Amino acid sequence: MKKILLFSILTLVASLCVQAARPKVVAHRGYWKTAGSAQNSLRALIKADSIGADMAEFDVWIASDDVLMVNHDPVVDGYMIPDTPSTVLRQNVKLANGEPIRTVEEYLDAAKDLNIGLVYEIKWHVNTEREALCVKKSIEMINDRGLADRTIYITFSPTAHEELGKYGVPHYFLSGKTPQELVEMGSSGPDFHYDVFYKNTDFIPEFKRLGMPINVWTVSTPEITQYFIDQDVDYITTDTPELCIKLLNETPSSKDVRVMDFNLEGAESLEAAAAIIRAEHPDFVTLQGLKTTPEINKLAEISGMYIYFNANNKTGVAVMSRTTPTEVKNLDLPNQFRDTPCKAIVCTYDLGNAIKFNVASASMSEENDVTRQHQAEYITRYLRDADIPAVLGAGLNDTPKSKPWETMRGRFGELSTDEVTFPAPVPDRKIDYLLNYPADKVVKRESYVRPTAASYHMPTIADITVKY
């Protein structure tokens, strides 16, 4: 095997997969549904941090003496916060757990010593000038304490939203608008009630397409929480953060990847083959029909990928990838009749979040059906025994009616389609296969054959989700 490590801009900048990180858990008004806590209290902030919530949400008003106060409603214990000095509020208002009502200063000073992020809600004030001052002072206080990197702002108020936009801070709008309306408002993204997303099922895909992070409130039952975990939103605001963390931990991680199988037998121009590979932009390529070392060196170089190769002096198989594997195994396939030796290669990758993934390429005997049958049994058993989610690109040299194919089909799922792949440019049969194992962990989203005359075989491309 030759291992050639080739760097290119493509390799350096491309991450392996396109996959959002798991949703952030936002404790709504802190973690208050727990002993000794209360909404918007310091205790709720500290509890949210201690259970591992990613962020705490809290509500901010400006009092009549320009001091910022943390409370949900405008009226507390009979005092209208915007019309009352903070000193009066501090003296007379107690939260449900006995803490005094908190100033934003106290709240942020406590947050500074914790790891938790902040979802800072500017409340909708009747007086827009006071509201603008509330925005200005809020941003100053966050910036002064070095909390800007872990704070996002939210509001129901269109004027506060516009004001926040002037400072260039991340700001999300709380009531339902269409994606296009939010774009026109210059918003960072939606922070909508879950019902808005239930009623408008096109919103989540559209916000994702626009690259706008999605926040949803207030999600507190197991069913609704799981729905938004599965929708892969960016923030889940919840009154039950422990439940949300538990469900997230129980939800399997997954990675979306693109795999291509390409047999380069008869490829006259490697540039043409590499152009197809670059255009399809796969994460992994299983290759068969490669001939010489200089040839594969060149293919890897112009494709901008790493390549791992197992060959005899006539022909070989390879796996190309955008990242390096953790392990590479070269296999000699059974050959009891001393036909042309056939090879396989298995590369093991770490997709992150403890997801291991085997990518294998095998080329089977052109000369003998019995050998082919044994080879099919050997490679499928090997990959199943490894007990790691796997794809196998196989040049089976046999059709879907053959016994070796029945063997493989019995043990693996199929990612490839029924389309014919050989001989290009006018193929009449299918002898190339892209297989998956197990079906519940390597899930096909889409696959197709790409017409090309770059080789005698047309490549198959599959978009898959690998689960852990």
Instruction: Give whichever of 215 and 254 is closer to Mg ion, judged by the CB atom.
Output: 215
Positive or negative torsion for Cα 268, 274, 275, 279 = positive
Which of the ranges 19-27, 58-66, 223-231, 427-435 carries the binding residues for Mg ion, by CB under 5 A? 58-66
432-451 residues near Mg ion, rule: CB under 5 A: none
CB 214 within 8 A of CB 204: yes
416: Cβ–Cβ under 8 A, 6 or more apart, which residues? 261, 430, 432, 433, 434, 435, 447, 449, 460, 462
Interface mask toward Mg ion for 246-285; x: CB under 5 A: ----------------------------------------
Positive or negative torsion for Cα 174, 175, 176, 178 = negative
- The closest of 26, 20, 46 to 34, measured between CA atoms, is 46
User: What is the H or E stretch that residue 46 is in?
Assistant: helix 42-50
Which of the ranges 44-52, 116-124, 390-398, 424-432 carries the binding residues for Mg ion, by CB under 5 A? 116-124
Interface mask toward Mg ion for 121-140; x: CB under 5 A: x-------------------
Which of the ranges 73-81, 119-127, 267-275, 315-323 carries the binding residues for Mg ion, by CB under 5 A? 119-127
Instruction: Give whichever of 158 and 438 is closer to Mg ion, judged by the CB atom.
Output: 158
Using only C-alpha atoms, the chain has a radius of gyration, in whole angstroms, of: 29
Is residue 59 a contact residue for Mg ion (CB under 5 A)?
yes
Return the residue matching tokens 């939203």.
161
Q: Which residue minimizes CB distance to Mg ion?
A: 121
Q: In angstroms, what is the minimal distance from the CB of 123 to Mg ion?
A: 8
Beta pairing partners, 359:
347, 391
Q: In angstroms, what is the minimal distance from the CB of 157 to Mg ion?
A: 12
Return the residue matching tokens 């002037």.
166
Alpha helix stretches (DSSP H) within 238-353: 241-250, 270-280, 293-303
Q: In angstroms, what is the minimal distance from the CB of 25 to Mg ion?
A: 16
Instruction: Give whichever of 40 and 86 is closer to Mg ion, judged by the CB atom.
Output: 40
Q: In angstroms, what is the minimal distance from the CB of 153 to Mg ion?
A: 11
Instruction: Give whichever of 169 and 333 is closer to Mg ion, judged by the CB atom.
Output: 169
Instruction: Give whichever of 187 and 397 is closer to Mg ion, judged by the CB atom.
Output: 187
Q: In angstroms, what is the minimal distance from the CB of 59 to Mg ion?
A: 4
CB 376 within 8 A of CB 408: yes
Which of the ranges 31-39, 56-64, 104-112, 141-149 carries the binding residues for Mg ion, by CB under 5 A? 56-64
Residue type, 118: L
Residues that bind Mg ion (CB under 5 A): 59, 121
